[in-house]
Structure 1
């Protein structure tokens, strides 16, 4: 009687082979990664003679109002300040102790470097911090010294020190690639093992039990003969087609993300972000009018009579700006376009009268049948511009941030609580409606913000 190789035993053998191969190839990767992670966890936080975490807290409490790590503010930048003073000025840490605790006393002593800094920063003496101990100052200096240097050409400043040291273990990409290679080898080896076992079984006269081969219909024929499955499939595709048509038609007239190229490049990031110019300084009509309006070029010239070139506030352009071509020379060229449009003679500091119209491209458009009043939202409702227009202070190129659809407006009316405090416009109506609804706070919807005639007339 022939021996029969049990199928269960066959798969047990394959499973054991899979386990052994996995342990052989994968375990060393995780063992090495875990060892490096353990070493990173056991590594000391800093070798700089101070606690960077405490230093960061002390810096934010006492120094951040006047100093930044990577650029001048009221006072000088403090990144690597101890090293710079030692290498460039030959000053010791004791000088820093005395300066931080009583800068006026160091200046009065006639110290040359102290007086140099005092005169350079408009003769504004630094606040004295007599309560800071030498250990506290060491922690602050450790925090400032831990900051890595800025990337060349990045101009984006220096990154604050991490609260924990970062492990340099094997990256996820390498681990995933190794796993993919291992499993590929496993598939190949299982195929070869299967083929070899069958060959051995045939050579030794062992019968391998196989599943009974059944004659099966082609899948398309079996599908066509199943009327219920065909009906469900047809219904599914009809619903999918209807949903797709609805989604496509819902996007008609929705221009979210629209960012046209303007004839003069205007950077909201520089004006509203870096220089903190209030939105309503340029868009002044938003306070009193239905429209926010496009600022006239005379508003631009209020500043640009004196600002005739862009210097980047003393910082180099970031790598991203350089990649997009936003260099100091580029922005200076856009200022020259402004001068040409208004007819400004830069050399003689006068208007020539030869102005040219600037064809600005409108970004935010509402249908003619929809009514929106900026003054009602900005002045009466006290709504911030960013609520609808997004973080304009971060936008290099202005784009439509919100969808401006009817559903988007209705949701805002339902969720937004009307600012009643110090808003005389709502004194009377607030008293009446709060009694009607029995609430202290009202939403725009409760004040009629969902009535059709409010927006469609």
Structure 2
């Protein structure tokens, strides 16, 4: 019977193997590309849109919720949505645009001018729209999503994490591999049956290893491994040293949400170096004591974290000389004597507190105090804050140039710190992220009168161009390598 022809069945088998393998590779690359598009879209959204639009895509903020934005613009040409994102005022002024009335109504409703982003390409905008829609529909950057509940006893809402598309690819790979093996064994059995019926040469049964080591499969696997290995290597190299969303636990639980948010303390009161030097500086504990000589109990942690401040500065909160303010221990006061004072203060400040809780708070004191070898002098130790934002050594970044000259808000780079109980690195701080900012940020000549006389004077010819659309940082040398790299 020709139906069981050996050459025919082998040809069918080889073709099916190729089709299965190519389908798997196509699916893997497609899912990987979609995830990469959403990742790029997230970076663009955080850099350009997050300051005005809610990140959950469902709630309004300074600007409207962006979820399902493509559906709302569905009756208009897609290029007009892209034009709106690049320059909303330009679209409103375009009498030939079909969406002019809709765009004008949006502007009238919200009453604020959206920052123009002329450097965004169509591909950039499409990546952002992919991220926005995924966030709106699934609650994460790219589906599928896994919701991770907050640990018991921790503060804040549950966090949503993006599950890797690798899980899907692994399942598909297993299914396709098993299907291929079963199909190969089935064809092999057909060949054996054909040989028996025609009286031809007996066909040996192929083992699993023989099927897997088929030359066609081996070639395709090598090709897939080269593609996957190159893709992984490049991505890992790009992300080397980056720590976006890094939020370590600090030795003192300082809440920016309480201090900068609820109490409204200006960022530069503590980080005063940001306006006048390269470094923003970590505030000295004396800055903390400007308030905490009077504020001796916090609303969140009570006396536990304030005691650490007192220990690190050598402060005596119940000094006999100045009981209303306190004083500082001399370096001859021993650790035991200081602990006795702090225990007395804790009992007075926390009426009814269990003895075990008091002992637990006192246990944190020794880490901020060191005793000399002869045990006669006691010195305080600086707080070992854990650095969060750490640029590579070859990168030059000057805070004063951005904060004072560029008028950049702290939140543009660090996110809504005033809402963070535990500070994290908000932005990727990658070169591409910085370059995109320089391409889009308008130079504020009029707000730099002091610097205009010395530095910006050479750019006076740009004033005319400002009236026509503005000058970006890129256009005054903001993309020169030496600006950021030594």
TM-score scaled by length of structure 1? 0.46
TM-score scaled by length of structure 2? 0.43
